[in-house]
Amino acid sequence: MEQIIRIGMDTSKSVFQLHGVNASEQPVLRKKLSRREIVKFFEKTPPTTVALEACGGSHHWARLLSSFGHEVKLIAPQLAKPYVKRGKNDAADAEALCEAMSRPTMRFVPVKTADQQAALMLVGVRERLIHNRTQLANAIRGFAMEFGVVAAKGMCRIEPLLERIAADQSLPELARDLFAMHGQEYRDLLAETKTIDEKLMKLHRADECSKRLAEIPGVGPIGASLLMMKTPDPRMFKSGRDFAAWIGLTPKDHSTAGKVRLGAITRAGDELLRSILVVGATSLLRHVRTGRSRHASRWLIDLLQRKKPKLVAVALANKIARTAW
């Protein structure tokens, strides 16, 4: 085992595939182990470098293997995929991870701590609650329309709609009972979302950097919290443009033969973080267009005269990301 210089490990729920090479780049380890066996194996193995795909549970394994003295490197799936030679199986994936780790220009995902994972879980729960709330509100509107009862747009119209339905004795009793059940579920979702928002604001107020980020126009407490939770060390990026490109707010490059061809944004990186920045930019832009914002710079006004508002919102989100960096 002293000959192994690095190991690629393909993880799953219960089966783990290992691929290790020696200093001569010759495979000396090809082994499939269970979840219990993998822990015992790395406890006895001398410290080495281990590569894992950055997926579900990978940060837990990175922390565990690091506690055994190993150096763990997480690789994004899209960066490891080109090193899969042929076919798709656990052994080929483990070998690809082992090969990708050896590249001098390979980029790695920073390992998150347990506290960081808990904060990200808070954001994930909030996103799920908001999705369920929107889904339930649309269901209530759809069912009400079947009885000829409609309401104006907006989440604030749901409660008055439920009150109108409850007071309408012309509706069947079964329908009113079902609407009441939906109304109780909707109010429970609102209460749970409020609790999650309070926890998120508590984390935001406890972080000095997050409070500074919230002062950027178009960011706010939610955007600042997401930037703190989902962004690695800013020193990993050479410039603010590199940071904006990491989020996915820069154009796709299709240039060839000396001709520059730029397309839509790449949509790389974290979707939630990117969408929050675009929503914040859209909100700021709405106030600028109505003349109620003190952040109406000459650059922004000139851009609004030449481009569509949605395109300007993405450009403004790019600028917000660079400012945050």
The CA-atom distances, in angstroms, between 177 and each of 162, 172, 180, 182, 189 are: 11, 9, 5, 9, 19
In this prediction, residue 56 carries a pLDDT of 87
- Residue 105, both tokens: 């220009």
Give the orientation angle of helix 114-145 with respect to helix 220-230, to 10 degrees: 130
**How many CB atoms are located within 10 Å of the residue 287 CB?**
15
Positive or negative torsion for Cα 52, 60, 126, 249: negative
In this prediction, residue 125 carries a pLDDT of 94
- Residue 48, both tokens: 């080495």
User: Which residue type, as a one-letter code, is found at position 117?
Assistant: Q
How many residues are listed for the chain in this entry?
Answer: 325
pTM, rounded to two decimals: 0.83
CB-based contact 320:280 (threshold 8 Å): yes
Statement: residue 1 has pLDDT above 70: no
Predicted confidence (pLDDT) per residue in 34-46, tens digit: 999 999 999 999 9
Coil, helix or strand for 18? strand
Distance in angstroms between the alpha carbons of the first and the last residue of the chain? 43
Predicted confidence (pLDDT) per residue in 245-262, tens digit: 999 998 888 888 888 888
Torsion angle of C-alpha atoms 224, 228, 234, 236, degrees rounded to 10: -140
Predicted confidence (pLDDT) per residue in 48-91, tens digit: 999 999 998 999 999 999 999 999 999 999 999 999 988 889 99
